Amino acid sequence: MRLTKTLLAATVATTFAASTAFAGGFADEIVEAPVVVVEPTAPRGSLPGWVIPAVLVAGLVALAVSGDDSDDEED
């Protein structure tokens, strides 16, 4: 009787230990695709950064040159 209880206890313990190995079942593993992070490119402006300041400088130079500020007075 003592041998039977020992074998029964060992069988139950082995069964419980083996059942935890199959706890997830036999279903197929779900594999998710890796996440790919795409960094957006910097938006390009309609004009390069030097065009607007160059036009402003050209306008100021043209304004300075074309002024009617003359030292000669014609009477």
pLDDT at residue number 35: 92
User: For 49, what's the count of Cα atoms within 13 Å in the CB-facing half-sphere?
Assistant: 2
CA 35 to chain centre: 10
* Number of residues that this document lists for the chain: 75
pLDDT at residue number 13: 87
pLDDT at residue number 70: 63
**How does pLDDT run across 20-68, given as a tens digit for each residue?**
566 566 777 788 999 999 988 877 767 677 888 999 999 999 988 887 6
pLDDT at residue number 51: 87
pLDDT at residue number 65: 87
37-71 burial: b if 16+ Cβ within 10 Å, else e? eeeeeeeeeeeeeeeeeeeeeeeeeeeeeeeeeee
**Alpha-helical runs (H) found in 22-73:** 51-65
